[in-house]
């Protein structure tokens, strides 16, 4: 396992592997790679928000607002290009 992962990420991956989890929620890129190596499905914050929008759990204004908030925050490390890509994809569904 990647030695740069945090304790919580490692514990989550080990637990998910043991339980053969249907889905692992993880944003960290290296942790996501480790999850996929174990043939587990992984989804991050942006993916969850996109699914909520597609499932009509979030309307366009709320979805866009949350994505914009994520893009502007300095304490969340989700690449701005990914946020833009997801917004563009969701806009096409309108």
The residue ranges of every structural domain in the chain are 7-43, 45-91
SS3 at position 10 = helix
Closest by CA to 41, choosing from 26, 55, 54, 30, is 26
Q: State pTM to two decimals.
A: 0.83
pLDDT at position 73: 86
> CA 27 to CA 49: how far, in whole Å?
13
Residue 44 near residue 26 (C-beta atoms within 8 A) = yes
Give the tokens for residue 17.
């592997």
pLDDT at position 75: 86
> CA 19 to CA 35: how far, in whole Å?
13
pLDDT at position 49: 97
Q: Which of the residues in the chain have pLDDT under 50?
A: none
Residue 70 near residue 87 (C-beta atoms within 8 A) = no
pLDDT at position 77: 82
């Amino acid at each position: 396992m990647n030695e740069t992962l945090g304790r919580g990420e490692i514990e989550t991956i080990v637990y998910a592997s043991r339980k053969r989890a249907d889905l692992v929620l993880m944003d960290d890129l290296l942790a996501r790679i480790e999850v996929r190596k174990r043939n587990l499905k992984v989804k991050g914050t942006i993916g969850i928000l996109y699914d909520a929008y597609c499932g009509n759990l979030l309307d366009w204004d709320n979805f866009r607002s949350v994505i914009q908030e994520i893009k502007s925050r300095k304490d969340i490390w989700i690449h701005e290009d990914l946020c833009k890509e997801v917004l563009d994809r969701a806009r096409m569904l309108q």
